[in-house]
Amino acid sequence: MSKKSGCPSVPNTDQKMEDIKRIMDSLGTSDKCQSAFSNAVNSSEQKADVAIAVATFGGIGGGTASFTNAQNKIRENLNKSGCSDVFANVNQQMNATQSILCEVSNTSSTTTLSGSANAAIKILQGKPTDAMLALRGKVLSSLSVPRSPSEALASIDKDLYKTAYSNYMRAMEIHKQEIDSIMGNVTIENSTFKNSADVDMRVINKMASVDTTAIAEQFKETAKNSAMQELKNKTGLGANSDSVKSLVTNRINNKNQSISDSIKNHLQNVTMSAASDSSVLIKFYGSLTIDGVIFDQYAQGRLITQNIMTSASNLGKSVALDMLSDAHSGTKSDKESKGEADVLQKLIQGQIELSKENAKGAADMFKNVTGVLGSIATIPIIIGVAVLLFFPQISNAFLPGPLKYVLAGVLLYFVAAWFIGIWPFSKSEKSVSYNHQDYKNEKNKTPPYDAYYTNWKMQ
């Protein structure tokens, strides 16, 4: 999109690095990709090289020929890590944030707050109006409520039930975050800030001039990338298929009205005005998150933008988890599902296989460690056998006669049993059997959010 009058300048290198790290955390980026980014930072002499390298994934700036050798090397190393899609998503969110901030802060929507340069900033919570509450109720009603997997599924397929229940708890977590974003979760450590700019602050007081359609496009793009990343985290590379992307896009496009309502809700939730003591008063009526927000002349727009981006990311995660939930409930024994059902079936199968691979990897690692430790533990036993059999001058002092040969035989049996895997070191079938009651007990635990929903009233 073209730069609008009054559009804030792009973040500097240090701010970009902070944004990259924060977005990677919000996407649930794997340790592998986190390490790839950290290694790139540690191996580069210039943070700008890393920021530019990451900011050119996803096709933006990728066609230019102005990269330095260092930037090209960083891009190559990040590509080799298999995390290009992650960095493309990070790039998309950074660009979406800047685009939304431009839309919110354009001069047709703002006026100048005279005398606010270098002023102290106070942040207070205001009482929402009836119209605000009505809009929130509308947004809340459009949220998808997570569905708990049925106990019948546990008796049919234990792996599928375990996977479904894990997704359900994750969906509950995201659902709570969505409600917080709508109704008034506050993440803030201080109540007074200093305007970092030497110019007066901009007040957004013409909400009708804000192009919500343009914001909605960025909102949907962010939600789509967030959904794809959540699916990849859950199912592995199977989430990269065009059929999955198409399904995600359709589901998000079907939420056009709720997206529009969510944007309008965030636009009206943060206001700015002059206080009687010559300070700047920022009043919020709903959600407020201050995490890396720059308090300059665009502070109000930055707060609104951050809340919009949080909602977009949460919507994407919610859509992804809804798809997995549909896959659980739609599983058929005949395996003849086609179209959407077939895509969902492949997703859930990919998640089960990925879960098994991760579990196997952890088990193999544990086995290797315990195997080495076990082998080391047998050394004292072998030494003891050698003393009993070949150093009678020592063994006769505490175990005279043929008893020492009996003890030596017993010790040798235990050494052999350890390496062969016979009693008492054989695996117990009971220890690895599926215990449906364990899942039932877990299922009956009250999720930590039930009281939250029960006590949440629209006043």
pTM for this model (two decimals) = 0.68
- The mean-pLDDT minimum among 74-83, 207-216, 255-264 falls in 74-83
420's tokens: 């062969």
pLDDT given at position 77: 81
Nearby residues of 216 by Cβ (< 8 Å), 6 or more positions away? 256, 259, 260, 263
pLDDT above 60: residue 442: no
- Write the CA distances from 74 to 18, 40, 51, 62, 252, integer angstroms: 18, 6, 10, 13, 34
- In 3D space, the residue among 198, 205, 188 whose CA is nearest the CA of residue 296 turns out to be 198
Let me know: does 49 contact 17? Beta carbons within 8 Å: no
Dihedral of CA atoms 183, 185, 191, 195 in degrees, nearest 10, equals -80
- And the tokens for 93? 């969110």
E-strand spans in 275-310?
Answer: 280-284, 288-289
SS3 call for 284: strand
290-318: pLDDT as tens digits: 766 778 888 889 888 988 998 999 999 99
Q: Which backbone phi and psi does 90 adopt, to 5 degrees?
A: -60, -45
Per-residue pLDDT at 439: 43
Q: What are phi and psi of 185, to 5 degrees?
A: -70, 135
Output DSSP code: residue 239.
Answer: G
pLDDT over 70 at 438, yes or no: no
Per-residue pLDDT of 121-148, as tens digits, reads: 888 888 888 888 899 889 888 888 888 8
State which amino acid sits at residue 391.
F
Q: What is the pLDDT of residue 179?
A: 85
Lowest mean pLDDT among 47-51, 418-422, 431-435, 436-440: 431-435
Q: Residue 103 — pLDDT band, cuts 50, 70, 90? A: very high
DSSP strand pairing (110-113 vs 186-187): unpaired
Residue 371 has pLDDT above 60, yes or no: no
- Answer for the pair 111, 203: CB distance below 8 angstroms, yes or no: yes
The 10s digit of each residue's pLDDT in 411-433 is: 777 777 766 666 666 544 333 33
| Percentage, residues of the chain above pLDDT 90 | 12
Output the CA–CA distances (angstroms, integers) from residue 255 to 134, 143, 167, 180, 250, in the order listed. Answer: 19, 10, 22, 19, 9
Cβ atoms 347, 323 nearer than 8 A = yes
Helix axes 256-268, 212-235, angle to 10 degrees: 110
Helices (H), 81-120: 84-105
The residues near 98 (Cβ < 8 Å, ≥ 6 apart) are: 8, 10, 11
Q: Which of 127, 134, 453 is nearest to 264 (CA)?
A: 134
The DSSP secondary-structure symbol of 281 reads E
Task: Output 390 or 162, whichever has higher pLDDT.
Answer: 162
Specify the pLDDT at position 366.
Answer: 40
Rounded to the nearest 10 degrees, how much is the dihedral formed by the CA atoms of 185, 321, 34, 25? Answer: -10
Long-range own/partner contacts, residues 72-78 (CB < 8 A, 24 or more apart):
74/40, 74/44, 74/49, 74/50, 77/36, 77/39, 77/40, 77/43, 78/36, 78/37, 78/40, 78/53, 78/54
- pLDDT-derived band at 379 (thresholds 50, 70, 90) equals low
Query: CB neighbours (10 Å) of residue 52?
Result: 20
pLDDT of residue 342: 62
Give the least confident one: 46-50, 199-203, 209-213, 263-267. Answer: 46-50
230-252 tens-digit pLDDT: 888 877 655 557 778 888 899 99
Q: Closest by alpha carbon to 98, among 60, 46, 66?
A: 60
